[in-house]
Structure 1
Amino acid sequence: MDNSTLLRLGPNAWILLVVFLVLAAVVWRSALQRPPLQMLFAGVRALIQLAAVALVIGWLSGRGALAFAFVALMFAVGVWTSGHRVAPGGRWWMAAFPMAAGVVPVAVLMFAFGVLPFSALAIIAVLGQQIGGSMSTLTLSGRRIRDELGLRRGEVEAAVALGFVWPQARLMVARPIAGEAVLPSIDQTRTAGLVTLPGAFVGMILGGASPLDAGLIQLLVLISLLLVNAVTASLALWLWAHNLWLPRTAH
């Protein structure tokens, strides 16, 4: 096997991609009753975007300052995607606050400690992972909190009738389930090296890095994601507690 890649690439890899995508769409439709075009569109879009991103990253090599513009684009897309999942028809742009609260302080600390170099590839790779993790956490936690508050609205109103203010009443109902979106990150960190071998870790080993250095880098990424995702979920909860995801007319 070629040591430059983990998998054997070639015509068979492209054929397998199509097989995987079609099977995923079939299961998505037959078992989960979801539109298959949704799955197919996601796969084709990922192909086009990854090809474009590969070209952009190659062009940005050595241009660290411009990498921040690309990261800003990634952040904007993440806000749009997660915001419309959490608050369709509402204040979807509020997604920028929990995502920024999770990603920005962690990035600043990594730069301040000199751990994250001023390199385009490093900036895009590391901050991209953090933005992606924050986006996923916000989507899961925000939707879960929204649904819980809707299902248990009577309990919230009962708490208000007993003298609690609305944010306190919503927190009492939503807080126990707000952190569930962070559990996958916790499990991934707890089982790293036992259940899964993260891609960055494997890639660094194949690239010639020492196992100790590769492990430390991957550990920094995993632990930073724990902080990013915990902060994101906390801010999503706070925004729902104060009903800031909804238009003013819905308050």
Structure 2
Amino acid sequence: MQTSTLLGLGPGVAAAVVILAALAAAVHRWALDGGWLPPLTASLRAVVQLAVVALLVAQLGQNPWLALGFALLMFVIATVTSGRRVDRARWWWSAGPIAAGVLPATAVLLVTGVLPFAGLALIALIGQQVGGAMTTTSLAGRRVVAELAGRRGEVEAAVALGFEWPAARLLVARHTAREALVPALDQTRTVGTVTLPGAFVGMVLGGASPVDAAIVQLVVLVSLLAVGSLSAAATLWLCASGGWGLSAGGLAREV
């Protein structure tokens, strides 16, 4: 059955999802030596969570305050998810980098009038930003922590030369936090030439002109760049200043 989603949503959907999840699990197990479960459990969670969200969004979208409450739930889940990737003992520290990315970007969009105070718009935009901040915090945190652990001798040498601990950690690990921005930078650089992102396609299918869709997609991509940059910087600062991720529970390995 062909629909306005550009994909066939008939019985083949279930078969495709099962086959692709099994393929991901097999590769994760045999090629990456990571076990079967992570891809399978992630896929199952996606099925359940998207089913719930599909039922809720129609109601939440009618009330901007309920939408903000749902966005707060997104933030909490993102904090737990990202924090446990970096430091299980102090996972709540990830709330700082995620908030540091999302709040300023959302404020700019609201103040300029680009983001209306409407339920569906708030859920859509804030949700993307929380997701982007979560990914950046996880990537930046893990890279910085691994770099500091691997080059601990250089950090201690810098301290012996008179640097404070935060400055010594920054000296060693500053460049690694930038690597977390590579996905967002590549997506922005190649938009329209490698792929057409979801916001653009969705708006065109919904009846918007390609020009309007392109403008909205530009706002989304640039806002995600700002979110990622702020989250990466805040993650670097936390790791350097407070030693986040360097505790006994730091740098969770499972993926």
Q: Bin the TM-score by the shorter chain.
A: over 0.9
Aligned partners of 1:171 and 1:241 also within 8 Å:
yes
**In structure 2, C-alpha distance between the alignment counterparts of 1:198 and 1:8, rounded to whole Å:** 19
Deviation at 1:117, TM superposition (A): 1.2
Q: Which amino acid aligns with 1:78?
A: A
- RMSD, aligned α-carbons: 1.6
Residues 214 and 244 (structure 1), Cα distance of their counterparts in 2 relative to 1, 3 Å cut: same
Q: SS of the residue aligned with 1:227?
A: helix
Correspondence for 1:101: 100
Residues 154 and 248 (structure 1), Cα distance of their counterparts in 2 relative to 1, 3 Å cut: closer
Q: Which amino acid aligns with 1:96?
A: A
Correspondence for 1:146: 145
**In structure 2, C-alpha distance between the alignment counterparts of 1:142 and 1:39, rounded to whole Å:** 22
Deviation at 1:64, TM superposition (A): 1.1
**In structure 2, C-alpha distance between the alignment counterparts of 1:248 and 1:45, rounded to whole Å:** 29
Residues 46 and 3 (structure 1), Cα distance of their counterparts in 2 relative to 1, 3 Å cut: closer
**In structure 1, C-alpha distance between the alignment counterparts of 2:82 and 2:216, rounded to whole Å:** 28
Listed one character per residue, the Cα deviations across residues 150-177 of structure 1 (whole Å, up to 9, x for unaligned) are 0000000000111111111000000011
**In structure 1, C-alpha distance between the alignment counterparts of 2:237 and 2:176, rounded to whole Å:** 13
Identical columns (%): 54
Q: Which moved more, 1:113-122 or 1:40-49?
A: 113-122
Deviation at 1:61, TM superposition (A): 2.7
Correspondence for 2:78: 78
Deviation at 1:178, TM superposition (A): 1.1
Deviation at 1:35, TM superposition (A): 1.6
- Which stretches of structure 1, 4 residues or longer, exceed 2 Å deviation after superposition? 246-250
Give the number of equivalent residue pairs.
249
**In structure 1, C-alpha distance between the alignment counterparts of 2:160 and 2:61, rounded to whole Å:** 60
Q: SS of the residue aligned with 1:242?
A: helix
Listed one character per residue, the Cα deviations across residues 115-169 of structure 1 (whole Å, up to 9, x for unaligned) are 1112211111110000000000000000000000000000000001111111110
Deviation at 1:244, TM superposition (A): 4.2
Aligned partners of 2:116 and 2:122 also within 8 Å:
yes
**In structure 1, C-alpha distance between the alignment counterparts of 2:242 and 2:33, rounded to whole Å:** 32
Q: SS of the residue aligned with 1:116?
A: coil
Q: Which runs of 5+ in 2 are unaligned?
A: 250-255
TM-score (norm 1): 0.96
Correspondence for 1:36: 36
Listed one character per residue, the Cα deviations across residues 173-215 of structure 1 (whole Å, up to 9, x for unaligned) are 0001111000110110000000111011011111110011000
Listed one character per residue, the Cα deviations across residues 81-137 of structure 1 (whole Å, up to 9, x for unaligned) are 000101122x11110111101000110111111111122111111100000000000
Deviation at 1:246, TM superposition (A): 5.3
